[in-house]
Structures are given as structure tokens and as C-alpha cells.
Amino acid sequence: MGSGPERMNKMGWIELIVGCMFAGKTEEFIRRLIRYKFGKKAIIVFKPEIDKRYSDDSVQTHHGISHSAHPVKDSKALYKILKEKEKEFDANKRFDVIGIDELQFFDKGIVDLVEKLANDGYIIVANGLDKDYKSDPFKNVFELLPLAEYVEKLSALCSQCGGHANRTQRLVNGAPVRDTEGPLVLISGQDSYEARCRHCYVKPDTKKKKK
């Protein structure tokens, strides 16, 4: 294997931002993208098309900070649009940085695609929930953790006690969900979820079944 400046200057890595809801993941995601823009990097951003909480074609924080993004159905669509957009460049030009929002909403193919793109020399900046409302790991995010060169885990403030929160509480009519029979993915905002600490979090009963 080679060494020295040529090897050390090779591009291509994964930056993964994780945490519970209301932890500031999207804000940190956008901050990193803007930093790369200041560094004269060519950037393209993708988001799952099912996430329409604030906008169809932008990534947006709960506080209104936004960045334009391409909505895509799945990992195959993401790769297709990436290559189509690169055809608009000159022959030797391509994107430097690929931003991917809300990894947990993508299909399983996103893990292999992110790894491939990093190996191909792209800088991947991605974010996602590390746990679902049952406090179980989200598979896509969990599988990317050992592959990422940089991982930042963010916490929120507990909506109940103000302590450090790293769990997402799903609510129905203002009360914690008590069973696990609801959909794993429910895209909503503060009316359906809260950030909670380990002490205030109410874990759904996995053994509870509807009669």
C-alpha cells in the first residue's frame, strides 16, 4: 500500500450526524454543507420524498433554516439523479459533497450506496435518527455507524424535566404510545413526538397486543 501526500490527500469519507428528534441534527447537517460551500466544493443534497413536513424540495429545521434538496423515492433514484446532474458538468467535473437527509426513511440499499460513493471519492454528509420510538436502533443508521469516519451524536433537552434527552417519545392525543402496533415511520412534528431523557421516557410494551 502506498503512503505519503498522494495517499493522505485522497478524498472520500462519511460524516454521520445522529440523535433523537429535536436534537439539532438538521441544523448541524446544513451547517456542514454551508462550510463546504465556503470551501468551494460542489454540493448536491437529497431528501426522502415522503418527508414533506416543511417543504417538498428543501431540507428545513424546526426553526426555519433551510437548504435546497432533491426529493427522491429511494437509493436507486438518488444515484440516478446524481449521475444525471453530473452530466451537466464539464467532462472532468463532478460533485464533491453529497448531503443525505433523514437516512432512516430510505430503503436498505442506502447503506451500500453510501459506502460505494465514499469509496468513489465523494464526501458524504448524512443525518438520521439513531433510534425509533421503541428505542430500538434504526437499521440504516445503525449499519452505517461502523462505516463512518466521523460520527457526531447530538442530544436534545427533555420536554418533561429539561435533562439531556436521547430518546424519541411518540405521542397519541398527548400521551405516550403504550404498544408497538403502530407504524414504525410516522412523519410528523412536535405534535406527535417529544424528546425525552431515559428517566422520563415511557417505553412501549412489546408484549401488548390489541384485543
Q: pTM for the full model? A: 0.87
- Residue whose grid cell is 417519545: 169
> What is the structure's pLDDT at 61?
78
Boundaries of every domain in the chain: 5-155
> What is the structure's pLDDT at 179?
74
Q: Per-residue pLDDT for the chain (211 aa), expressed as one digit of tens each?
A: 344 444 446 899 999 999 999 999 999 999 999 999 999 999 999 999 988 776 778 887 777 788 999 999 999 999 999 999 999 987 778 999 999 999 999 999 999 999 999 999 999 999 999 999 999 999 999 999 999 999 999 999 999 999 999 999 999 888 898 876 666 666 655 458 999 999 999 999 866 554 4
Fold of 5-155: Rossmann fold (3.40.50)
Residue 72 CA to residue 81 CA, distance in Å, equals: 8
Indicate which residues carry an active-site annotation: 102
> What is the structure's pLDDT at 3?
43
